[in-house]
Amino acid sequence: MLDFDTRFGLLESGSVSTKNEVNIMVKNASDVLFGGLTYWIFGYAFSFGESPLSNSFCGIGQFFVDADEANMGWIFSRFFFQMSFATTATTIVSGAMAERTNLMAYILFCMLNTLIFCFPAHWVWDSRGWLRKLGSVDIAGAGPVHLVGGTVSLVATLMLGPRYRRFDKKDPLKTMACPTNALLGMFMLWWGWLGFNCGSTFGITGGKWKLSARSAVATITSSMAGGIVGLLLSYTTTRMFEIPYLLNGVLGSLVSVTGICALAHPWEGLFIGAVGALIACGSTELLERWQIDDPVGAVPVHFSCAVWSLISIGIFGRIDTLEHASQFNGLIAGGGFYLLGIQVLAATSQIAWTVITSYLILKVVDVTVGLRVPLDKEILGADYCEHGVGGPDDRDMPEGASEDDDDTQDIDSPRHETHFLGYHHVDHGPEHHHHNHHHRDVDMEVVERKINRRHSGGYCGHSFRQKHRIRLPKSSVSCCLHCCQCQCHLYDKVLSDCSDSDKELEENLKQKKKRRNVLSCCRRLVQRRKKRQAAKEDGDYLRRVDGGTSLKDVGTNTGGLNVVSQEIVTGL
């Protein structure tokens, strides 16, 4: 259980940006800590409870799992194994929600996601489950684990929206901090999958050891085919062997063979894995085209391939005479369309259940705690904002900039005051910066930490500032917030230059115009900088005879925001 979450964590931490590597590992730890706790409290009871009240929809009984000496071997072993499935279903979702999810909200989600998993697990694996009674087959969790996790991932990423600058055509967000870690995670998952699929026979007595051996062979042949297809797709489309294609090819094939692993012959495993790799890589391209942001490919790999896994059972399945894991033949074995229809029903019912319950749970979490982090935290990174690891200094320096470009060298020199572009304010030093908290999403403690670490400015992390090399003045909290949170006139104590009333500002916030204003305001900044640069080239700047500095204010009306831009120009 812990090992599987570690593997997913390593894969996900290598796939996200450097400023969120630690955070994604903490979230994978939270899956076991909090998801495991709720599975012990009520998850096992709803999945495999054996009281007289248990029915086709859910189990009842054995809350706060415990057992006497006579029964503890079977109960504890099944609890531990099924708990690993439950936490894996949650771990899948952590990748889809990466880099923009509040950690407290994610912890609450970990605890509640057990409710989403435990009911489909009862339907498929418990002897009283309604899908089990109909003859549905799912050896190692294609439905309750991967389909449920992939469906929650899809709902979550649609609710969260894409990461900042993820689909910016001019300056898209670049991720995959460490491809080596991602590949190591893939290798660990690869071999761990063998243990999960083989262990799903729950023993080696009777004919179970034979089913376990067949599971191992089908799993490895499927993954080989998936990896080959992923590499071939990468080379034929990009003329390079790209890492995401390999990752999605191998993992997609592993998910695809999960449902039928104990029943499939080696050649069937090859075919199922190859088709699964095609589905995973193709679904990734579709999500990119539809601008659905899934940082680690959880939806293509776990949702799309899990659907194919359940359908493939209806095509290639056959009656199991060893342990009666399957009661009907599939389409190829001459069983007609019955098993295929049952498998389609199983996939449809689990998707419908997961969409409804996951949306309700995520909506409750969003209303109470807030799913998405504020934009300033997203730009700074969760490692720094939520764990105090690293800092924004290195990340805020644009490509090609050197330490000589930073403003931290001499805070008293005229050079420190050049190229300031922002709202009109008087710099009184750090001790005089007080700000009105008009927006609940801004964490002023985070901003103050950023300012304290960068006492005299430097480059801001916003893409417009990076591209146009606009520097941050000493202790300019409002300017910093302009790029990170926008509407910085809300946070400046002096609102004399703002024509909007407090009521109008609150109304704008209620209409959720904040995110649009981030880009529009920064575009205005760039436009004004270009205009001043043109005026400078035309000689329309004051110059003192003694070679000192002069101040020129330019007032600009920008759609209701009376912005005064100020620049101190060094004398020539």
Q: 3-state DSSP call for residue 202? A: coil
Instruction: Provide mean pLDDT across the span 13-30.
Output: 88
- Least confident window among 49-53, 237-241, 432-436: 432-436
What is the Cα–Cα distance from 149 to 84, expressed in whole angstroms? 13
Confidence class for position 316, pLDDT limits 50, 70, 90: very high
Q: Could you tell me the two tokens for 440? A: 């609940």
Q: Return the pLDDT at 15.
A: 84
Q: Return the pLDDT at 176.
A: 77
Query: Which residue in this structure is represented by tokens 């500032």?
Result: 465
Taking the mean position of all CA atoms in its chain, how far away is CA 229? 26
Exposure b/e, 393-429, CB count within 10 A at least 16 = b: eebbbeeeeeeeebbeeeeeeeebbebbbbbbbeeee
If one compares 538 and 83, the residue with the highest pLDDT of the two is 83
Q: 3-state DSSP call for residue 557? A: strand
Instruction: Provide mean pLDDT across the span 381-388.
Output: 89
Q: Return the pLDDT at 206.
A: 72
- Least confident window among 220-229, 264-273, 311-320, 504-513: 504-513
Instruction: Provide mean pLDDT across the span 311-322.
Output: 93
Confidence class for position 254, pLDDT limits 50, 70, 90: very high
Q: Could you tell me the two tokens for 530? A: 């270009």
Indicate the helix (H) or strand (E) that contains 570.
strand 561-570
Helices (H), 97-207: 103-125, 130-134, 148-160, 179-199
**pTM higher than 0.75 for the full model?**
no
What is the Cα–Cα distance from 497 to 494, expressed in whole angstroms? 8
Instruction: Provide mean pLDDT across the span 527-545.
Output: 58
Give 459's strand partners: 471
Query: Which residue in this structure is represented by tokens 């936490």?
Result: 87
> 210: how many CB neighbours lie within 10 A of its CB?
14
Q: Return the pLDDT at 443.
A: 46
**How does pLDDT run across 475-508, given as a tens digit for each residue?**
333 333 334 333 333 333 333 333 444 455 455 5
Instruction: Provide mean pLDDT across the span 255-280.
Output: 95
Q: Could you tell me the two tokens for 248? A: 């999605």
**How does pLDDT run across 22-77, given as a tens digit for each residue?**
999 999 999 999 999 999 999 999 999 999 999 999 999 999 999 998 889 889 99
**How does pLDDT run across 175-211, given as a tens digit for each residue?**
777 888 889 889 988 988 888 888 887 777 677 889 9
Q: Return the pLDDT at 560.
A: 33
What is the Cα–Cα distance from 248 to 548, expressed in whole angstroms? 61
Confidence class for position 147, pLDDT limits 50, 70, 90: very high
Q: Return the pLDDT at 446.
A: 47
Instruction: Provide mean pLDDT across the span 442-463.
Output: 41
Quick one: which of 365, 267, 347 has its CA closest to 306? 347
Q: Return the pLDDT at 395.
A: 44
Write out the DSSP string of 180-200: HHHHHHHHHHHHHHHHHHHHT
Q: Return the pLDDT at 3.
A: 54
Confidence class for position 537, pLDDT limits 50, 70, 90: low
Q: Is the pLDDT of residue 471 over 90?
A: no
Q: Is the pLDDT of residue 324 over 70?
A: yes
Q: Is the pLDDT of residue 256 over 70?
A: yes
What is the Cα–Cα distance from 327 to 321, expressed in whole angstroms? 9
Q: 3-state DSSP call for residue 174? A: coil
Instruction: Provide mean pLDDT across the span 321-343.
Output: 91
If one compares 201 and 383, the residue with the highest pLDDT of the two is 383
Quick one: which of 20, 367, 357, 31 has its CA closest to 163? 20
Mean model confidence pLDDT for the chain:
75
**How does pLDDT run across 94-128, given as a tens digit for each residue?**
999 999 999 999 999 999 999 999 999 999 999 99
Write out the DSSP string of 282-298: HHHHHHHHTT---TT-H
Q: Is the pLDDT of residue 515 over 80?
A: no
Quick one: which of 465, 486, 520, 464 has its CA closest to 170? 464
Confidence class for position 392, pLDDT limits 50, 70, 90: low
**How does pLDDT run across 543-567, given as a tens digit for each residue?**
433 444 333 333 333 333 333 333 3
Q: Cα dist. 12→135, 179, 254 in Å?
A: 36, 10, 17
State residue 37 phi and psi, 5-degree precision.
-65, -45
Q: Return the pLDDT at 89.
A: 93
Q: 3-state DSSP: the chain helix, strand, coil percent, rounded to 5?
A: 60, 5, 35
Quick one: which of 192, 8, 197, 187 has its CA closest to 87? 8
Confidence class for position 260, pLDDT limits 50, 70, 90: very high
Say which residues have a Cβ less than 8 Å from residue 336's Cβ, sequence separation at least 6. 329
Q: Could you tell me the two tokens for 492? A: 């400046």
Quick one: which of 58, 246, 88, 57 has its CA closest to 152? 88
Q: Cα dist. 399→285, 415, 466 in Å?
A: 28, 21, 8
Indicate the helix (H) or strand (E) that contains 385.
helix 382-387
Quick one: which of 185, 136, 129, 159 has its CA closest to 11? 185
Q: Return the pLDDT at 538.
A: 63
